[in-house]
Structure 1
Amino acid sequence: MRIGISLFGVLQVMTSFLIVWEISQSLSAAYVTALLIVCDSAAHAYNRLVLLDPILLWFILQSTYSSIKFSSCADRPFAVHWWLWLLVTGVFLGLSLAVKHVGMFVILLVGLRAVHDLWQLYCDTSVSLMNVIKHFLARCFCLILVPILLYMSTFVLHLHLLDKGADTPDIGLYSAQFRLSFSDHAISRHTPPVVTDGSRVTLLSGARARGYLATSYDTYPDEFGAETQVVALDAFLDDLNGWMFTRTDERQLVNPASPDYASQAVAHGDVVRLITCSLSVTYMSTGCQLPSHRTSTWSPASDSQDELHAGGVWHVLLDDPGASFGVTPLRTVGSWFRLVNNSTGCALRPGFSKYPGWGFDGWEVVCDPKGVNLEDTEQLWQIDENVNARVEGADLKAQYEMSTLAKIIEMQPVMLVSNSQFKDHQVGREDSLQKLFSSSPWMWPILYKGCACPVTQVHAMYFVGSPHVYFPNLAILCALPLLETVSRVRRRRHPQATERQRIQEGLLYLLLAWVLHYAPFWAMRRRLYFHHYLPAFFFSTMISGLVLDAVVGWLEGLPWPVGRRLLRPAALAVLTAFYVQSFLTNWELAFGVPSRGSGEFPMNKHAYFDSWKV
Structure 2
Amino acid sequence: MFDSAAGVRQRGKKKSGGSGPGSGSEDEPLIRKPHVAAAYTPPIALHRGYQVALAVITALAFATRFWNIGYPNQVVFDEVHFGKFASYYLERTYFFDVHPPFGKLLFALMGWFVGYDGHFKFENIGDSYITNGVPYVAFRAMPAMLGALTVPVVFLTMQESGYSLPAAITAALLVLFDNAHIGQTRLILLDATLILSMACSLLCYIRFYKLRHDPFGRKWWKWLLLTGVSLSCVISTKYVGVFTFVTIGGAVLIDLWNLLDVRRGLSLQTFGKHFMARAFGLIIVPFMFYLFWFQVHFAILYKSGPGDDFMSPAFQETLADNALSLSSIDVHYYDTVQIRHKDTKAFLHSHRENYPLRYEDGRVSSQGQQVTGYPFNDTNNHWVIMPPAPFPDSQRLNRPVRNGDVIKLHHVQTNTDLLSHDVASPYYPTNQEFTTVSMDKSYGDRHNDTLFEIKFDHGKAGQDLKTLAAHFKLLHVPSKVAMWTHSKPLPEWAFKQQEINGNKNVAQTSNIWFIEDIPSLAAGDARNTKEERKVKHLSFFRKYFELQRAMFHHNNALTSSHPYASQPIQWPFLLRGVSFWTKNDTREQIYFLGNPIGWWLASSLLAVLAGIYGADLITQRRGIDALDRRTRSKLYNSTGFFFLAWASHYFPFFLMGRQLFLHHYLPAHLASALVTGALVEFIFCPEDSVEIRDGKKVVVPGNKQAYIGAWVATGVIGAIVLGGFLFYAPLTYGTPGLTPDQVLARKWLGYELHFAK
TM-score greater than 0.5 by the shorter chain: yes
The structural deviation recorded for 1:142 is 1.0
1:379 and 1:530 mapped to 2: Cα distance?
30
> Is 1:587 the equivalent of 2:721?
no
Deviation per CA, 1:419-441: give whole Å up to 9, x if none.
1111125xxxxxxxx2x311111
The amino acid that maps onto 1:154 is W
2:751 and 2:490 mapped to 1: Cα distance?
28
Q: Measured at CA, do residues 367 and 49 of structure 1 come closer, stay the same or move farther in structure 2, by a change above 3 Å?
A: same
576, 596, 612: which one pairs with 1:467? Answer: 596
Task: Answer whether contact 2:339 2:381 (CA < 8 A) is retained.
Answer: yes
> Is 1:155 the equivalent of 2:304?
no
> Is 1:549 the equivalent of 2:686?
no
502, 514, 519: which one pairs with 2:634? Answer: 502
Deviation per CA, 1:221-262: give whole Å up to 9, x if none.
985789957428x9xxx979x97652569xxxxxxxxxxx98
170, 173, 176: which one pairs with 1:32? Answer: 170
498, 502, 510: which one pairs with 1:367? Answer: 502
Equivalent residue number for residue 14 of structure 1: 152
Equivalent residue number for residue 328 of structure 2: 191
Higher CA-based Rg: 2
646, 664, 667: which one pairs with 1:535? Answer: 667
Q: Measured at CA, do residues 23 and 101 of structure 1 come closer, stay the same or move farther in structure 2, by a change above 3 Å?
A: same
The amino acid that maps onto 2:743 is M
1:6 and 1:467 mapped to 2: Cα distance?
22
The amino acid that maps onto 1:482 is G
Equivalent residue number for residue 559 of structure 2: 423
607, 610, 613: which one pairs with 2:750? Answer: 610
Q: Measured at CA, do residues 87 and 216 of structure 1 come closer, stay the same or move farther in structure 2, by a change above 3 Å?
A: farther
1:59 and 1:274 mapped to 2: Cα distance?
57
Q: Measured at CA, do residues 346 and 141 of structure 1 come closer, stay the same or move farther in structure 2, by a change above 3 Å?
A: closer
Equivalent residue number for residue 573 of structure 1: 715
The structural deviation recorded for 1:166 is 4.2
Deviation per CA, 1:359-396: give whole Å up to 9, x if none.
9x99975225x8xx9x8687985757667674144567
2:314 and 2:670 mapped to 1: Cα distance?
43
The amino acid that maps onto 1:350 is W
Task: Answer whether contact 2:339 2:514 (CA < 8 A) is retained.
Answer: yes
Alignment of 1:477-492 (within 5 A): 477-484=606-613
The amino acid that maps onto 1:542 is L
Equivalent residue number for residue 179 of structure 1: 316
Q: Measured at CA, do residues 145 and 593 of structure 1 come closer, stay the same or move farther in structure 2, by a change above 3 Å?
A: same
1:132 and 1:363 mapped to 2: Cα distance?
62
Alignment of 1:215-614 (within 5 A): 223=359, 230-231=372-373, 246=384, 265-266=400-401, 268-273=405-410, 291-294=418-421, 298-309=424-435, 315=451, 317-319=453-455, 330-331=465-466, 339=474, 347-350=481-484, 355=488, 365-367=500-502, 383=514, 390=525, 391=527, 392-393=529-530, 401-425=537-561, 434=562, 436-457=563-584, 459-484=588-613, 498=630, 501-502=633-634, 504-554=636-686, 566-593=708-735, 600=740, 602-610=742-750, 612=752
1:137 and 1:362 mapped to 2: Cα distance?
59
The structural deviation recorded for 1:307 is 3.0
The structural deviation recorded for 1:549 is 2.5
Q: Measured at CA, do residues 322 and 533 of structure 1 come closer, stay the same or move farther in structure 2, by a change above 3 Å?
A: closer
- Identity fraction in percent: 23
Structure 1 gaps, min length 5? 250-260, 276-285, 426-433
The structural deviation recorded for 1:94 is 1.3
1:96 and 1:164 mapped to 2: Cα distance?
28
2:711 and 2:266 mapped to 1: Cα distance?
46
The amino acid that maps onto 1:141 is F
The structural deviation recorded for 1:591 is 1.8
Q: Measured at CA, do residues 214 and 519 of structure 1 come closer, stay the same or move farther in structure 2, by a change above 3 Å?
A: farther
2:743 and 2:615 mapped to 1: Cα distance?
43
Deviation per CA, 1:564-610: give whole Å up to 9, x if none.
67444444333333322332222223223456x8x526422211123
Equivalent residue number for residue 258 of structure 1: none
1:291 and 1:117 mapped to 2: Cα distance?
64
1:365 and 1:137 mapped to 2: Cα distance?
54
Task: Answer whether contact 1:318 1:335 (CA < 8 A) is retained.
Answer: no
1:289 and 1:498 mapped to 2: Cα distance?
84
Task: Answer whether contact 1:41 1:587 (CA < 8 A) is retained.
Answer: yes
Q: Partner of 1:307: helix, strand, or coil? A: strand
The amino acid that maps onto 1:62 is C
The amino acid that maps onto 1:544 is T
The amino acid that maps onto 1:446 is F
Q: Measured at CA, do residues 331 and 190 of structure 1 come closer, stay the same or move farther in structure 2, by a change above 3 Å?
A: closer
1:481 and 1:323 mapped to 2: Cα distance?
60
Q: Measured at CA, do residues 290 and 463 of structure 1 come closer, stay the same or move farther in structure 2, by a change above 3 Å?
A: farther
The structural deviation recorded for 1:511 is 0.6
The amino acid that maps onto 2:669 is F
Task: Answer whether contact 1:300 1:355 (CA < 8 A) is retained.
Answer: no
Equivalent residue number for residue 58 of structure 1: 196
1:76 and 1:329 mapped to 2: Cα distance?
63
Task: Answer whether contact 1:197 1:263 (CA < 8 A) is retained.
Answer: no
1:105 and 1:397 mapped to 2: Cα distance?
43
Task: Answer whether contact 2:347 2:373 (CA < 8 A) is retained.
Answer: yes
RMSD in angstroms over aligned alpha carbons?
4.5
The structural deviation recorded for 1:202 is 5.9
Q: Partner of 1:460: helix, strand, or coil? A: strand
The amino acid that maps onto 1:530 is L
Q: Measured at CA, do residues 394 and 299 of structure 1 come closer, stay the same or move farther in structure 2, by a change above 3 Å?
A: farther
Q: Partner of 1:99: helix, strand, or coil? A: coil
- Stretch deviating more after TM superposition (134-143 or 329-338): 329-338
Equivalent residue number for residue 2 of structure 1: 140
Equivalent residue number for residue 272 of structure 2: 133
The structural deviation recorded for 1:56 is 0.8
1:420 and 1:138 mapped to 2: Cα distance?
34
2:453 and 2:703 mapped to 1: Cα distance?
93
The amino acid that maps onto 1:188 is S
The amino acid that maps onto 2:556 is S
Equivalent residue number for residue 135 of structure 2: none
- Stretch deviating more after TM superposition (81-90 or 157-166): 157-166
> Is 1:45 the equivalent of 2:178?
no
- Stretch deviating more after TM superposition (15-24 or 80-89): 15-24
The structural deviation recorded for 1:504 is 3.6
Task: Answer whether contact 1:60 1:96 (CA < 8 A) is retained.
Answer: yes
Structure 2 gaps, min length 5? 1-138, 388-395, 443-449, 690-701
